[in-house]
Amino acid sequence: MKIAVMGYGTIGSGVVDVLKINHDKIAKAAGEEVSVKYILDLRDFPGDPMEKCVIHDYQTIVNDPEVGVVVETMGGVEPAYTFVKAMLEAGKQVATSNKNLVAAKGAELIRIAREHGVNFQFEASVGGGIPIIRPLNKCLTADEIEEITGILNGTTNYMLTKMTDEGADFDAVLKDAQNKGYAEKDPTADIEGHDPCRKIAILTSMVCGKQVDFEEIHCEGITKITPEDIAYAKAMNRTIKLLASSKKVGNSYSCMVAPYLLPAEHPLCGVNGVFNGIFVHGNVLGDAMFYGSGAGKLPTASAVVADVVDMVKHTNRHIVIDWSEEKMQIVDYKDSRNAFFVRTTSDLADAKRAFGSIEEVPSLVDGEVAFTVGPLSEEDFAAAAEHIHVVNRIRLG
Amino acid sequence: MKIAVMGYGTIGSGVVDVLKINHDKIAKAAGEEVSVKYILDLRDFPGDPMEKCVIHDYQTIVNDPEVGVVVETMGGVEPAYTFVKAMLEAGKQVATSNKNLVAAKGAELIRIAREHGVNFQFEASVGGGIPIIRPLNKCLTADEIEEITGILNGTTNYMLTKMTDEGADFDAVLKDAQNKGYAEKDPTADIEGHDPCRKIAILTSMVCGKQVDFEEIHCEGITKITPEDIAYAKAMNRTIKLLASSKKVGNSYSCMVAPYLLPAEHPLCGVNGVFNGIFVHGNVLGDAMFYGSGAGKLPTASAVVADVVDMVKHTNRHIVIDWSEEKMQIVDYKDSRNAFFVRTTSDLADAKRAFGSIEEVPSLVDGEVAFTVGPLSEEDFAAAAEHIHVVNRIRLG
């Protein structure tokens, strides 16, 4: 089987590396040898061992009947979407690691793949190397999935872990993460939660079989988390984690991305550093968790190549993925229910007047009162919070 | 699709329950309705809603062309083996939760299924509801799996967790586990490690594609673990877990079941109570872990029904499982290498004379010296240990 790799960046070159490192194992698993015929990139790579495979026009791949599987590791919606669509329409199977593409166009590309009797797979788009898309599609089929809650962004988990372990502040750990290459120069997509927001939209779509638009998911990042919040978390025997969550409510789903205070016994509490963890609750399975490297060159490439192996084995055979273009109307953010931890410079009496029943938490900062309240709706919380001066509030997991 | 359930005990009745509870979801996932036509059991079940489905002769199923999938939840090798073989030879697909059957006859039954163009699946035989067999077969295909280490027995993990949390002794927690229904009246298979031994044999067979005989795996249980050992573990910031492990060494595998002292940062350390966790290290994936309910009626049935769904979707299409009857010669136990924690009533000088370089651990028991040593081979350890009086020794994870 000849394949093409579109985008020779970190993940794309990782795919080429994995195919080399595990050549024999992959050939055995796929049932035939898998080799790279083309690498599509804007750049040239003089001196690279794959130099001669590099091309600049995607039509070369479209028009080559020898290429059966195409890997898309370019990132971004365009031109990835145009290229992937053309590949599927030309009867080629596509594996992608591109969460932006999958969140925006996944349902449509699955339909196009089905119409052309080929496959579009995206295991690496969520959780890096952790198998989660295929387990949802192939393993947890006897369950109603009632909750998925994930630590889906390694950068912010690294930062929160470092803040927790070292008491460092946000700016210092961001700089450290950038120096170590964990955070981009422009870290917005990570620290504002846009990255895990796309991923939980993809997972929720897989669970409900309909299109969940990430733009409709309420999304908060970690930029407001301070060393004082971390100190409160420790005093409460909790850990602050940026969670992307999706909970079944009636026939819909309540989705959110935000920092949460997790109790020490929650399985996601042990997910530290750049690792990702995805907690799943099924109505008969109960609790399960999938843990591993959520990013990184080789782990992510491992998932892409596993898709390639699966597709080589399914040449001319469509693998059903139940994700239609029909829209899933998620629960309005205002109606989502959460319990909250609140720090305020107002006094306890004012807090009680505003919220009714609250539970005081010993204050760790002079001039501050701290308490927990709820669960209550986001709307009710916001209305009550107007009556006091809130220093910070973090949801309780 | 009509199915038959052989064995109407805890898991078998769980399968019937799950098919009822999630009827619509399962029909959607399978692409057609799945209903139970027969329940094979020695007993009758007067008053049971499924009473009319109960039969006593497995030939009734063999001879009914309407039954396409058979669930085996009887346990034990015989007569399960005879029944399952007959079903496969009659062109019926089989899903089993029976680790004894799979460890002893898995490779042969996979071959028979292949020869008859049907499938034999066993997701529930390891890790209860946790997806691990299918992820190994379908997801981690781009990797050389270099290590699998699992907490594969919920009963002993519950007992060790309780000993750790409460300082209770072995006999007391065993009694508690029996009272709660977590341990059987005859708890041998759990507390002596026979159960996780079969499971790690199955997982290693899945990884290497050959037959690993569980009888050849060195197996120690938890009966020698005392409250003093637990106290030492805490002082060393470690936790004692019964691990079933399999590590690639050259072209073979070093397998063992034994209690280990795990460092606090190991992902398996957070796997407490009746939960199971399976740690997997792939050469490109890195570390991953699968966590969930390793036993229990509904979680295990969830995995069995997921196999049923997969098989309904693969009617007349064999799913390749690479596990041949060719024998994998595992590494001789004597050559396995481990580091050890040792408690001795001999003095430090004797311990040093016996082992050479050791690292002393502050003693917590009067008249005792404690130290760590290694890694060294099991044979070398045993030879050196002859020269001192060992109170207990536990391997370091």
Domain spans of chain A, in order of start: 2-128+297-313, 134-293, 333-396
- Among B21, B138, B139, the strongest candidate for a mutation testing the A interface, having the largest count of A CBs within 10 A, is B139
Q: How far is A36 from chain B (nearest CA, A)?
A: 15
In angstroms, the CA B201 to CA B308 distance is 24
Do the Cβ atoms of B322 and A138 come within 8 Å? no
Ranges under pLDDT 70 in chain B: none
Beta bridge partners of A373: A340
Feature table: binding site of B for NADP(+):
6-13
In angstroms, the CA A287 to CA A281 distance is 5
Contacts of A105 (CB under 8 A, 6+ apart): A77, A81, A84
Q: What is the CATH number of domain A333-396?
A: 3.30.70
In angstroms, the CA A185 to CA A190 distance is 11
**Mean of pLDDT values over A44-53:** 97
Tokens of B41: 């059991």
Q: What is the CATH number of domain B2-128+297-313?
A: 3.40.50.720
Do the Cβ atoms of B298 and A286 come within 8 Å? yes
What pLDDT sits at residue A195? 97
Residue B296's nearest CA partner among A233, A288, A371 is A288
Q: How far is B140 from chain A (nearest CA, A)?
A: 6
Q: Judge whether B15 is closer than 8 Å to chain A, CB to CB.
A: no
- Segment 240-269 of chain A within 8 Å of chain B by CB: 265, 267, 269
% of chain A at pLDDT higher than 70: 100
Same fold, B2-128+297-313 and B140-293: no
Positive or negative: CA dihedral A264, A265, A266, A270 = positive
Q: How far is A22 from chain B (nearest CA, A)?
A: 7
Do the Cβ atoms of A288 and B291 come within 8 Å? yes
Overall fold of domain B334-396: Alpha-Beta Plaits (3.30.70)
| Chain B residues in contact with A293 (beta carbon < 8 A) | 285-288
Burial group, residue A34, by CB count within 10 angstroms (0-12, 13-18, 19+): buried
Q: How far is B263 from chain A (nearest CA, A)?
A: 13
Residue A76's nearest CA partner among A7, A123, A157 is A7
Helix (H) / strand (E) element for A354: namely helix A348-355
Q: How far apart are the first and last CA of chain B?
A: 47
What pLDDT sits at residue A136? 96
- Do strands B275-282 and B218-219 pair parallel, antiparallel, or not at all (unpaired)? unpaired
What pLDDT sits at residue A288? 97
Beta bridge partners of A242: A259
The one-letter code for the residue type at B170 is: F
Burial group, residue B64, by CB count within 10 angstroms (0-12, 13-18, 19+): middle
Do the Cβ atoms of B142 and A284 come within 8 Å? no
Do the Cβ atoms of A286 and B299 come within 8 Å? yes
- Among B34, B143, B318, the strongest candidate for a mutation testing the A interface, having the largest count of A CBs within 10 A, is B143
Nearest residue, CB atoms, B139 vs list A270, A301, A306 = A306
Feature table: binding site of B for NADPH:
99
Residue A295 scores a pLDDT above 90: no
Beta bridge partners of B148: B246, B280
Question: Counting one residue from A and one from B, how many pairs have CB atoms under 8 Å apart?
Answer: 180
| Shortest CA distance from A276: residue in chain B | B288
Tokens of A264: 């020490």
Do the Cβ atoms of A140 and B306 come within 8 Å? yes
Beta strands in chain B (DSSP E): 2-6, 35-40, 54-55, 67-72, 93-96, 120-121, 145-151, 218-219, 238-249, 252-263, 275-282, 286-293, 337-344, 359-361, 369-377, 390-396
In angstroms, the CA A342 to CA A355 distance is 11
What pLDDT sits at residue A144? 97
In angstroms, the CA A311 to CA A251 distance is 33
Do the Cβ atoms of A142 and B26 come within 8 Å? yes
CA distances, A22 to each of A118, B144, B223 (Å): 25, 7, 42
CA distances, B267 to each of A216, A277, B144, B221 (Å): 34, 11, 20, 21
Do the Cβ atoms of A138 and B134 come within 8 Å? yes
Nearest residue, CB atoms, A284 vs list B21, B139, B144 = B21
Q: Judge whether A23 is closer than 8 Å to chain B, CB to CB.
A: no
- Among A285, A314, A320, the strongest candidate for a mutation testing the B interface, having the largest count of B CBs within 10 A, is A285
Q: What is B140-293's CATH superfamily?
A: Dihydrodipicolinate Reductase; domain 2 (3.30.360.10)
Contacts of B318 (CB under 8 A, 6+ apart): B113, B114, B117, B118, B119
Cβ atoms of residues B119 and B311 within 8 Å: yes
| Chain A residues in contact with B30 (beta carbon < 8 A) | 141
Nearest residue, CB atoms, A299 vs list B26, B284, B303 = B284
| Chain B residues in contact with A287 (beta carbon < 8 A) | 275, 292-293
Tokens of A237: 């025997």
Nearest residue, CB atoms, B138 vs list A272, A282, A310 = A310
% of chain A at pLDDT higher than 90: 97
Nearest residue, CB atoms, A142 vs list B135, B290, B306 = B306
The one-letter code for the residue type at B150 is: G
Cβ atoms of residues A265 and A281 within 8 Å: no
Q: How far is B306 from chain A (nearest CA, A)?
A: 5
Residue A349 scores a pLDDT above 90: yes
Do the Cβ atoms of B283 and A308 come within 8 Å? no
Backbone angles phi, psi at B55, to 5 degrees: -130, 165
Which of B92, B105, B199, B241 is labelled catalytic? B199
Do the Cβ atoms of A306 and B142 come within 8 Å? yes
**Over the stretch A169-223, which tens digit does the pLDDT of each residue have?**
999 999 999 999 899 999 999 999 999 999 999 999 999 999 999 999 999 999 9
CA distances, B321 to each of A142, A318, B87, B210, B366 (Å): 21, 20, 18, 11, 55
| Chain A residues in contact with B144 (beta carbon < 8 A) | 22, 25
- Do strands B35-40 and B2-6 pair parallel, antiparallel, or not at all (unpaired)? parallel
What pLDDT sits at residue B72? 98
| Shortest CA distance from A272: residue in chain B | B265
- Segment 312-331 of chain B within 8 Å of chain A by CB: 313, 320, 322
Q: Judge whether B25 is closer than 8 Å to chain A, CB to CB.
A: yes
| Chain A residues in contact with B135 (beta carbon < 8 A) | 131, 134-135, 139
Do the Cβ atoms of B144 and A25 come within 8 Å? yes
- Segment 118-147 of chain B within 8 Å of chain A by CB: 123, 129-131, 134-135, 138-144
Helix (H) / strand (E) element for A304: namely helix A297-313
Overall fold of domain A134-293: Dihydrodipicolinate Reductase; domain 2 (3.30.360)
- Tell whether A14 is in a known binding site: no
What pLDDT sits at residue B295? 87
